[in-house]
Amino acid sequence: MNSKTLFIALALITLPALISCTTEARQETADATPTALVTIDVQGMTCAGCETSIKMAVKKIAGVKNVEASFSEGTAVVTVNPEKAQEQQIIDAINKIGYTAKKKKS
C-alpha cells in the first residue's frame, strides 16, 4: 500500500468522526444562546393559512428561533434570542402583512 492510498484510507476512516464532533459542538453552542418567549396578541387571523403567513413573516427576523401562531387563540408565541430580536420587530412584521398585533397583556 503506497502512502497516497494509506492517506485516503485514514481520511475515510476519521472523517465521519470529525464531522460528528463538529456537529455536536455546533449543537452545544446553539443550545447555549439565550432565549425568551414573546407572546403577541394578533387580530385578524381566520384560518391555518393566516397562521402560516405569520410564521413565515416572523421567521425572517434575525434571532427568531421558533414561531407558533394560533388563529383560534389569536396569539403568536415566538422563541427568540433577546440579544438579536426585539418584541417590537415581531409586532411590526405581523402588522406589515395586514394583521393587528400588540403586546400581550399579562
Q: Give residue-wise pLDDT tens across range 12-69.
A: 675 565 555 544 445 545 567 899 999 999 999 999 999 999 999 999 999 999 999 9
pTM for the full model? 0.69
| Separation of first and last alpha carbons in the chain | 72
Tell whether the torsion through CA atoms of 8, 9, 11 and 12 is positive or negative.
positive
Q: Do 40 and 104 form a contact (C-beta atoms < 8 A)?
A: yes
Residues 1 and 50 in one domain: no
Is 80 exceeded by the pLDDT of residue 8? no
Amino acid 51: pLDDT: 97
User: Any idea what the CATH number is for the domain that residue 48 is in?
Assistant: 3.30.70.100
* 42 and 23, same domain (yes or no): no
Q: What is the DSSP letter of 104?
A: P
Same domain, 15 and 40: no
User: Domains in the chain: how many in total?
Assistant: 2
CA distances from 84 to 9, 37, 88 (A): 44, 13, 12
Domain match, 28 and 46 both: no
| Residue among 69, 60, 104, 88 at smallest CA distance from 78 | 69
14, 47: one domain: no
Q: How many helices and strands in the chain, by DSSP H and E?
A: 3, 4
**pLDDT number for residue 16:** 61
Grid coordinates given for 62: 434575525
Clarify whether residues 52 and 79 are in a common domain: yes
Does pLDDT of 83 surpass 50? Answer: yes
**Structural domain harbouring 20:** 1-32
97 and 64 belong to one structural domain:
yes
83 and 54, same structural domain?
Answer: yes
| 90 and 48 in a common domain | yes
Q: Report phi then psi at 56, rounded to 5.
A: -65, -40
The three three-digit cell numbers of residue 38, written as one number: 414573546
Which residue is listed with cell 394560533?
Answer: 70
What is the pLDDT, as a whole number, of residue 104?
83
Tell whether 26 and 40 lie within a shared domain: no
